[in-house]
Structure 1
Amino acid sequence: MAMNGLTRALRGRPTRAPESGISRRKGIWERVHLDPWLLLLLLVLLMAGLGVLYSASGQRIEVVIAQGTRFLVALATMLVLAQVPPATLIRWAPPIYGIGVLMLVAVELVGDMGMGAQRWLEIPGVIRFQPSELMKLAMPLMLAAWLSRRQLPPRWKDLLMCAALLGLPVVLIAKQPDLGTSLLVACAGIFVVLLAGLSWRFIVFLLVAAAAALPLLWINLHNYQRQRVLTFLNPESDPLGSGWNIIQSTTAIGSGGLWGKGWLQGTQSQLEFLPERHTDFIVAVLGEELGLVGMLVLLLLYLLIILRGLWLSMAAHDTFGRLLGGSIILTFFIYVFVNVGMVSGILPVVGVPLPLVSYGGTSSVTLLAGFGILMSIHGHRRLLPR
């Protein structure tokens, strides 16, 4: 009877396994809502990016320090956003989207010029930034919040509303002009709609409509944008002009061979034949100095980040989390694909940096902020009833 009483007592009181170092560490990650594997992969990528940037900038340590400082700000932003519950993100979605659109209008009216484009807002002596970067997060956030409250797959009237929400900022960004960012913002929104569930018939209709709209898009491109497409088709048509960038980048990658010429030993990059070598074309520096092996290692690192991000988004327990998380990680994939594609000559040059490797502050903060939101979605997920 004493044993029966002990058994009943144990059944009424859950037993606790002795705490180990592993369980304590797991508890720490859960409390700060961070995924340790994704965080580790991101930190490795950031450190590798600083190493490549040191070579690409001509061994200018001040550039590396400036980029490292931006990475610290971006990591702090990621940590803060990881603490914000998804329910709060849903409430914030409309005002964040509205502020983003208003800033894009402000760019159109009073924005700063730089390199022939009007893309920046500046608070004198405080900050200079690109509002279009905010839309890379505001767009999927708004569409995911909108669709999560509606019947899925989305109905026609919901799709028309999504098209309106998507089209306004994309047009404003394209007018700056910034074709690369406008395409990324469009992709971020389109991924949300696709993940919400569309019939193959509707997808085929969209593809046919997009193909039919290509002549209209070509007519509305700026002259330099048309030249980029023509140069992509035949770089040798203007080898000392518009074709110079792609010819030098493919030459640098090809000359690296299997193992590369060695870190800091590139000729195309170190002798300044390669343009924009610390920003859009930084992967060509990596290919020349570390060869095919170095590029494959970098692409493997990106692949692991993408796979981990997809797993986290699929583990979300609500529609909003799955739509937003999936869009964030798929847009990150588009970043990598477009940059590597344009540098290696399989895509036109559209001015998309290599994520978390190319020199730049606003882009790094936006990307890591997105990963912070992804970690928040996973860290705040609701427990499903047994």
Structure 2
Amino acid sequence: MSPWQSIPRSFRRHPVRPPDSGIARRKSIWERLHLDPWLLLMLLVLMAGGLLVLYSASGQRIESVIAQASRFGIALAGMFVLAQLNPSTFLRWAPLAYGVGLAMLLAVEIAGDIGMGAKRWLEIPGVIRFQPSEMMKLGVPLMVAAYLNRCQLPPRFRDIAVCAVIIGVPVVLTAIQPDLGTSLLMAAAATLVVLLAGLSWRLIAFVAALVAAGMPILWMNMHNYQRQRVLTFLDPDSDPLGSGWNIIQSTTAIGSGGVWGKGWLEGTQSQLEFLPERHTDFIIAVLGEEFGLVGMLVLLVLYTLIVSRGLWLAAGSQDTFGRLFAGSIILTFFIYVFVNVGMVSGILPVVGVPLPLVSYGGTSSVTLLAGFGILMSIHAHRRLLSR
């Protein structure tokens, strides 16, 4: 009889573990820094590729690349700082952050800086110029998650009504700037928190019916250029030299790239300046023309991996606030990508949504990486939280 056979079956099924030696597992450097190495690596690869495309899209202006790289540096520093904070800090400061954000949106309405026909920016002369509505893309879902954290889930109708007010006020203040794209993304980010809290399909259908019924009212209150964007989406060739120019040129650029593209810095639509806003909202058309279908697939796969990793981190949260807010952060990132790609390829109306961490812009990059910092914080501190 072998030694193994001499052991009773009960012990075979439930082997006795050796006593704890008292030596704790040594934490890796990433755990001590509260960073997720895989997510960080993918974000760095995305930003590096974005700088490469930006150099071409900006007309080979190295100044634009340096400016964007410096913004990435600031955004990464902010991400690192936020990752060190305990999620309870975000929960505690949510009302103040929301209130300050509302005050800044009101300040934009009163004394905002006008650019490109819209009043969206606040400027401290010689210091900084920023867009408060971008920050509220985090502030509004943060406040909704903090409120629902104190409620019984799934939320009751009264709680949903309170959330609607929390969402509605900053969305309206942003829409009247006018900035329809940002207001819709802000509303989507906060609405995702409510959906993640658990709603019955009946209630979802009821809200969807209300939204559909309110579409005529929304249409009547839209600015002329916003209505024109919707009409152009339905028929871009109706005004090929006017409102349809952006979509026609972007789809032409993407299509002309073929499978392998024309080569870096060799795009005709972008380098000859046929493509408008090529370094911001339509930068993916530059990538499609110069790197072709293969380049666009690589970018989309990278985005998919980032979203998948973010969802995995969010799913590990052990408290209500963490699950709701972390889930909203990564799903909102997915919506950014979906809307921008759909807008440039002509399957969605043009709403002015940048391509995350690729398009030129400072406030958007800081906001996005701040969200990822909070996501890493929620994952790193998940065992320290209690509902």
TM-score, with structure 2 as normaliser:
0.94
Over residues 78-105 of structure 1, what are the superposed CA-to-partner deviations in whole Å (9 max), with x where a residue is unaligned?
A: 0000011011110110000000001001
Counterpart residue number, 2:142 = 141
The RMSD of aligned alpha carbons is 1.4
Q: CA deviation at 1:11?
A: 2.6
Over residues 189-224 of structure 1, what are the superposed CA-to-partner deviations in whole Å (9 max), with x where a residue is unaligned?
A: 000000000000001111111111111110000000
Counterpart residue number, 1:11 = 19
Q: CA deviation at 1:16?
A: 6.1
Q: CA deviation at 1:27?
A: 1.9
Distance 1:12 1:52, change over 3 A: closer
Counterpart residue number, 1:91 = 92
Distance 1:87 1:16, change over 3 A: closer
Counterpart residue number, 1:245 = 246
Identity of aligned residues (%): 75
Q: CA deviation at 1:384?
A: 9.2
1:308 aligned partner, one-letter code: R
Counterpart residue number, 2:333 = 332
Establish whether residue 43 from structure 1 lines up as the match of residue 51 from structure 2: no
Inter-partner Cα distance in structure 1 for 2:307 and 2:93: 26
Counterpart residue number, 2:8 = none
Counterpart residue number, 2:278 = 277
Counterpart residue number, 2:205 = 204
Inter-partner Cα distance in structure 2 for 1:330 and 1:60: 33
Over residues 133-153 of structure 1, what are the superposed CA-to-partner deviations in whole Å (9 max), with x where a residue is unaligned?
A: 110110111011110111000
Inter-partner Cα distance in structure 2 for 1:295 and 1:95: 41
Inter-partner Cα distance in structure 2 for 1:211 and 1:42: 37
Inter-partner Cα distance in structure 2 for 1:139 and 1:83: 22
Inter-partner Cα distance in structure 2 for 1:65 and 1:11: 57
Q: CA deviation at 1:328?
A: 0.4
Q: CA deviation at 1:13?
A: 3.5
2:209 aligned partner, one-letter code: V
Q: Name the SS of the counterpart of 2:19 in structure 1.
A: helix
1:230 aligned partner, one-letter code: L
Counterpart residue number, 2:261 = 260
1:157-172 to 2 correspondences below 5 Å: 157-172=158-173
Counterpart residue number, 2:70 = 69
Counterpart residue number, 2:9 = none
CA contact (8 A) 2:319 2:385 kept: no
Over residues 317-363 of structure 1, what are the superposed CA-to-partner deviations in whole Å (9 max), with x where a residue is unaligned?
A: 10100000000000000100000000000000000000000000000
2:136 aligned partner, one-letter code: M
Distance 1:260 1:75, change over 3 A: same
Counterpart residue number, 1:355 = 356
Structure 2: 5+ residue stretches without partners: 1-17
Q: Name the SS of the counterpart of 1:49 in structure 2.
A: helix
CA contact (8 A) 2:250 2:282 kept: yes
Counterpart residue number, 1:5 = none
Inter-partner Cα distance in structure 1 for 2:167 and 2:54: 34
How many equivalent residue pairs? 370
Structure 1: 5+ residue stretches without partners: 1-9, 18-22
2:51 aligned partner, one-letter code: L
Inter-partner Cα distance in structure 1 for 2:229 and 2:160: 32
Q: CA deviation at 1:58?
A: 1.0
Q: CA deviation at 1:14?
A: 3.0
Inter-partner Cα distance in structure 2 for 1:269 and 1:134: 31
Counterpart residue number, 2:80 = 79
Inter-partner Cα distance in structure 2 for 1:89 and 1:384: 13
Q: Name the SS of the counterpart of 1:268 in structure 2.
A: helix
Distance 1:261 1:95, change over 3 A: same
Over residues 122-142 of structure 1, what are the superposed CA-to-partner deviations in whole Å (9 max), with x where a residue is unaligned?
A: 111111110001101101110
Inter-partner Cα distance in structure 2 for 1:145 and 1:213: 28
Q: Name the SS of the counterpart of 1:94 in structure 2.
A: helix
Counterpart residue number, 1:225 = 226
Inter-partner Cα distance in structure 1 for 2:298 and 2:21: 51
